[in-house]
Structure 1
Amino acid sequence: RDPSFAQHLQNYLSYNVFRYLENLRPGYNFGGWVDSGGSHMGLYRYAEQLWLTLFAKAPEITLFAYNQLLRQPELGKTASETFLLTDQFLGELGKPKGIASYKPYHATGEDFLQNYLGMTGLPMDMIPFFPSDKKVVLLTEQAKSDPAIADKIREQLMRGGDVVVTTGLLKAIPDQIASIAQVRCSDLKALIDDFGWNGKSARQLLIPQVHYLTNDSWEIVSAGNPLTNGVTGYPILLRCPFANGNMYVLTIPDNFADLYAFPDNALNMIRLFMSRDLDIRIEGPSKVGLFVYDNGTFIVESFLDEPVSVRVVLSGEQKIVTELTENKAYSVESNKFSITLEPHTFKVFKK
């Protein structure tokens, strides 16, 4: 879809919505459907909706609707080419996995934020329960719907796990969060563009001001206006140690899309701390997606309108990875390798 239209749907939704519905009742989501919305931007948008649905492991796809296919015959040709391309590797992909994001049933708050985070290269896995076997759990404002959420956060931290809470949740349940760390999201705002050694954004971004007790919590990523040679700054990623784990506060701009304007190094730091459950992460700009599977396969896709180079970071002692559509080997040095993606394309890898 065209994100500038009334629904403001982000590209990543085509993947994320299927995964979330599948997680609600595994095995009972029998497919996805794709219409021609957004195809006026270019047929790549139609193809993208199709392959993102397949990346999510949808067992079948419905092309909606027949009258659209008759009116725009190029849609059928694009669908055929997309299916031929994805048939080359879909059988190689395992079960999708990502950063666990707990969304209680019927919960609202910071709606669709996970789609914006997915567009910054953070693989999302939205689930309707608080997991007990994850190193990191992401909690947006949606988690306020669980009356026992503070107890679940403490239990996660006590067993040595981490929790990432957004400023939306921090503001929604301040008293419950205060039982874990003396941190609060105020009504004050700040305009920022300088992320210090993590770089600068191309424009000013409006964020909520997070207040905390010095030495009780520590800023991992900071920003100001200016921060470098300035007199104050504000946390973008804040670490709050508790028991055997850490609660991190992730500052969400008032406009979710401003996450895309975060400098590369700031995003890289956020990806590093949020990806403990994954053996793969990327380094580079926003609007590059990462899709990870449980059998060592993964996909890197560019949503950008220009070529982009990114680094893929692997854990372990991997020396070679293979790109499946080209049958090309990439050498891994110091757990990293670099790739270049043309606009609106993807590469599929197997370790």
Structure 2
Amino acid sequence: MALERITVLGAGSWGTTFAKVLADAGREVTVWARRADVADEITVRHTNSAYLPGVRLPDGLSATADAGRALAGAEAVVLAVPSQSLRDNLTRWRELVPDGAVLVSLAKGVELGSLKRMSQVVGEIVDMPADDVVVVSGPNLAREIAEEQPAAAVLACADHDRAVAVQQAGSTPYFRPYTNTDVVGCELAGACKNVIALSCGMAAGLGFGANTVATLITRGLAETARLGTALGADALTFAGLAGVGDLVATCSSPLSRNRTFGERVGSGETIEQARAAQGGQVAEGVTSCRSIRELARGAGVDMPLTEAMHRVCHEGADPATVGAELLGRARKHEWS
């Protein structure tokens, strides 16, 4: 299955970066942008200054604000919109998606209300098996990849041939994608890491150092793996790029929107102030902690960090107080 004509729906930082990767790999790529001025800038000036200032995009990469035009003849469609807006956007686009196109999801989250993973949402909207959706995960800090710093990713799909097709379409000297068939594990790892990154940012904002952050990363990984395995994921996935790889990058880098958001809150800003300071960039973990919390409760899984982030982001709790309560929890064996 060779994929040559690819459409990326979404011109944010990660959507534009992934489009660049595909174009650098020799594919014919069209980006759909919500705003016509952004589409014109990508096509004419080969930049996207709103999301990737200073990055030169490939000359062959084009963009349009017309979804029908963007999707015409596409052999693969990459969905690069935030997780909580995926359903509404894809509902508008579904009649335009060419029959037989491979669908690829870049979104990392669990949908509010339905508690569905993104591949499940895609499958429901376009009436196709969720197992046929290819999910991209791993340490995907867009700016670094756009600058062609070496990076790897995971392409997860139960239909391995589809994952291999996307792997072949998106391999470059600086971007190395691996395949995986554990969609559940990869998607849950990608959603949960945003919540854990909030906690690491808050710890940094409170003035704590590397030991604290390392503790949060490790215990966050433990609760993510508990949820994943309870829902049918392979435990090994959480030791890989989609698990610990994505978690370390998102929890450690100032390029991470979720970590930065958490640091603002830990430093004393309100949720509203931190949100306004993001400048239109979405911190997915703020919303995802609600849906992941409900998913965990329904599965009977203990996720104390997720519960803590929900309290801070949606119940007005003070980060320092919540942190002290986490440390005061009952002692137990590490693997219990």
TM-score range, shorter chain: under 0.3
Larger Rg: 1
Bigger helix fraction: 2
TM, length-normalised to structure 1: 0.26
Higher strand residue share? 1
What TM-score do the two structures reach when normalised by structure 2?
Answer: 0.27
